[in-house]
């Protein structure tokens, strides 16, 4: 397995470009199942999660190929397949995004239930509730969701849950409703830019969705969708991660294609911390050279601070003077990174669903373990600021959602090496039965 070795305390400078948004690319790729003709997608990031979903789609009878411009072409060549297998779905929860499109287009869908996850309990009850409201007959057998409907019918659906709206749930129900008979109203729809991007993509193929970006969607069902061409939005989470890299290293960097209009809450909190962010045309300058101050925030659904930057922010607040209080209202248990940051010298106290971070003057390099995608990024950021060498294991999490983050950071002056993990010889312990106890100590 590979690991990252990071030499800390190097200032960053220079310019890098932000890639396409993972969480827009995945549901849009899944929605190509709905199209009657070929679809070309641009700005799809090269990620393990994208490759995993491509394998799911190929297993469902799609032909996918890339070209020299970086575009991906999708075309259905066999529409008889209806099953997304456990072996593929277990690798990535977002595979559940094929459920709505498969059901709407092929009338039957059988998708393995995604398993557990390190960021907390992640049910799909709201996805199923929405699809049932459209008339699908749904059962769960042997770890698979079986859904069937000869024709979905528009309905009024409330998609709110205990933790707010659902991003992929909205994507699934919206994707199914575009081919339903009649009108669907979704209330408490997720407003994330990635959901808007999926809606814009579907509309570009002939769907009729109104209200994107608000909690109220109206979808007039259409008979069919055509093929088309679409370019996905830039990744606001990658942009935020790199902005925090500038902050935590006290550096000034430039970002191309940062989607600032999708980042208002993040920009606000970074401004409170003390980062100076300005933009001209397509280039954003992030100046993290000034003093930083502690900040309190709660991660919430869009337009709030995304849960997907909570971990990275925690790294920066670990080395920012004062006490920061951080909570996550979307995934209240998403704090696995806190204990690894503590191993690097951070002072973080967990109080229920809140983390209290007391800034320390510096972190020190250590051996740490990534627990999920954003936790990996948080550890990379902490390592950039830490004294000495940090070794980060289980970086396959990082590769799922960042297009070679270490290459971009190295282009900015960081020193990060990707190396093979060398298994360490662990001395064997003689079995207890053979362990010899000195005669004099034996019980009589």
Q: Transcribe 354-371 into DSSP letters.
A: EEEEE--S--B--EEE--
Q: Which is nearer to ligand EPU, 101 or 169 (CB)?
A: 169
Q: Which stretch binds ligand EPU (CB under 6 A): 1-9, 163-171, 362-370, 432-440?
A: 163-171
Q: How far is the CB of 8 from ligand EPU (least distance, A)?
A: 24
Q: Which tokens belong to 211?
A: 């209200």
Q: Which is nearer to ligand EPU, 122 or 415 (CB)?
A: 122
Q: Who contacts 407 (Cβ-Cβ below 8 Å, separation ≥6)?
A: none
Q: Which stretch binds ligand EPU (CB under 6 A): 72-80, 161-169, 264-272, 359-367?
A: 161-169
The pattern of x and - marking residues 390 through 409 that bind ligand EPU according to CB under 6 A reads: -----------x--------
The 3-class SS string of 247-258 reads HHHCCEEEEECC
Q: Which stretch binds ligand EPU (CB under 6 A): 56-64, 160-168, 208-216, 259-267?
A: 160-168
Please give the angle made by the CA atoms of 314, 6 and 16, to the nearest 5 degrees: 75
Phi, psi angles (nearest 5°) of residue 108: -140, 145
The reply on whether position 374 binds ligand EPU by CB under 6 A is yes
- Using DSSP bridges, classify how beta strands 389-393 and 367-369 pair: parallel, antiparallel or unpaired: parallel
Q: How far is the CB of 123 from ligand EPU (least distance, A)?
A: 4
Q: Which is nearer to ligand EPU, 82 or 371 (CB)?
A: 371
The dihedral through the CA atoms of 308, 371, 49, 389 has a sign that is positive
Q: Which of 61, 135, 161, 274 binds ligand EPU (CB under 6 A)?
A: 161
16 forms bridges with which residues in the sheet? 255
The reply on whether position 126 binds ligand EPU by CB under 6 A is yes
The reply on whether position 238 binds ligand EPU by CB under 6 A is no
Residue 196, number of CB atoms within 10 A of its CB: 19
Q: Which is nearer to ligand EPU, 10 or 132 (CB)?
A: 132
Q: Which of 43, 168, 241, 371 binds ligand EPU (CB under 6 A)?
A: 168
Burial of 65 (0-12, 13-18, 19+ CB in 10 A): exposed
**Which parts of 78-97 interact with ligand EPU (CB under 6 A)?**
93-94
Q: Are 380 and 405 in contact, with CB atoms under 8 Å apart? A: yes
Q: Which of 3, 4, 25, 26 binds ligand EPU (CB under 6 A)?
A: 26
Catalytic residue among 97, 117, 171, 191: 117
Q: Which stretch binds ligand EPU (CB under 6 A): 77-85, 203-211, 300-308, 408-416?
A: 300-308
Which of 295, 333, 334, 298 has its CA nearest to residue 317?
A: 295
Active site residue 110: no
Is cis: bond before 196, omega within 30 of 0? Answer: no
The reply on whether position 122 binds ligand EPU by CB under 6 A is yes
Q: How far is the CB of 171 from ligand EPU (least distance, A)?
A: 7
**Which parts of 247-286 interact with ligand EPU (CB under 6 A)?**
none
Q: How far is the CB of 167 from ligand EPU (least distance, A)?
A: 4
**Which parts of 192-231 interact with ligand EPU (CB under 6 A)?**
194
Q: Which of 373, 375, 381, 414 binds ligand EPU (CB under 6 A)?
A: 373
Residue 276, number of CB atoms within 10 A of its CB: 14
**Which parts of 320-359 interact with ligand EPU (CB under 6 A)?**
330-331
Q: Which is nearer to ligand EPU, 168 or 324 (CB)?
A: 168
Q: Are 38 and 75 in contact, with CB atoms under 8 Å apart? A: yes
Q: Which of 307, 310, 371, 390 binds ligand EPU (CB under 6 A)?
A: 307
Phi-psi region of 250 (alpha: psi -120 to 50; beta: other; left: phi over 0): left
Beta strands in 333-397 (DSSP E): 347-351, 354-358, 367-369, 389-393
Q: Are 243 and 275 in contact, with CB atoms under 8 Å apart? A: yes
Which of 233, 234, 225 has its CA nearest to residue 74?
A: 225
Q: What are the residues binding ligand EPU (CB under 6 A)?
A: 23, 26, 93-94, 119, 121-127, 161-163, 166-169, 190, 194, 306-308, 330-331, 373-374, 401
Just list the catalytic residues: 117
């Amino acid at each position: 397995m590979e690991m990252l070795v990071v030499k800390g305390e190097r200032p960053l400078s220079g310019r890098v470009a932000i890639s396409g948004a993972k969480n827009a690319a995945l549901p849009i790729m899944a929605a190509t199942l709905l199209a009657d003709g070929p679809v070309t997608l641009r700005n799809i990031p090269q990620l393990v999660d994208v490759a995993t979903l491509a394998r799911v789609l190929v297993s469902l009878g799609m032909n996918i190929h890339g070209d020299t411009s970086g575009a991906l072409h999708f075309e259905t060549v066999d529409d008889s397949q209806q099953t997304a297998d456990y072996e593929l779905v277990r690798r990535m929860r977002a595979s559940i995004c094929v459920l709505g499109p498969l059901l709407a287009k092929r009338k039957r869908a059988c998708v393995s239930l995604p398993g557990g996850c390190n960021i907390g309990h992640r049910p799909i009850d709201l996805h199923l509730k929405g699809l049932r409201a459209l008339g699908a007959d749904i059962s769960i057998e042997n770890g698979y969701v079986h859904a069937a409907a000869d024709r979905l019918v528009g309905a009024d659906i409330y998609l709110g849950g205990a933790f707010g709206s659902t991003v992929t749930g909205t994507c699934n129900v919206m994707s199914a409703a575009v081919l339903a008979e009649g009108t669907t109203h979704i209330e408490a729809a997720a407003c994330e830019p990635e959901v808007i991007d999926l809606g814009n993509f579907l509309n570009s193929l002939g769907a009729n969705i109104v209200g994107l970006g608000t909690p109220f969607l109206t979808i007039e069902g259409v008979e069919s969708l055509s093929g088309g061409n679409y370019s996905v939005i830039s990744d606001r989470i990658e942009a935020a991660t790199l902005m925090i890299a500038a902050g935590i290293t006290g550096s000034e960097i430039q970002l191309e294609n940062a989607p600032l209009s999708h980042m208002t809450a993040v920009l606000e909190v970074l401004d409170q911390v003390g980062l100076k962010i300005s933009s001209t045309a397509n280039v954003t300058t992030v100046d993290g050279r000034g003093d930083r101050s502690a900040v309190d925030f709660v991660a919430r659904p869009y337009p709030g601070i995304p849960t997907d930057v909570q971990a990275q922010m925690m790294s920066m607040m670990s080395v920012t003077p004062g006490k920061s209080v951080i909570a996550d209202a979307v995934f209240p248990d998403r704090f696995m990174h806190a204990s690894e940051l503590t191993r690097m010298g951070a002072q973080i106290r967990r109080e229920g669903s809140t983390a209290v971070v007391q800034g320390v003057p510096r972190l020190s390099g250590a051996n740490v373990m990534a627990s999920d995608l954003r936790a990996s990024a948080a550890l990379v950021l902490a390592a950039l600021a830490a004294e000495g060498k940090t070794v980060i294991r289980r970086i396959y999490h990082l590769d799922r959602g960042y297009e070679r983050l270490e290459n971009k950071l190295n282009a900015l002056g960081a020193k990060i090496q990707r190396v093979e993990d060398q298994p360490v010889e662990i001395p064997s312990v003689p079995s207890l039965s053979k362990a010899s106890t000195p005669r004099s100590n034996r019980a009589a």
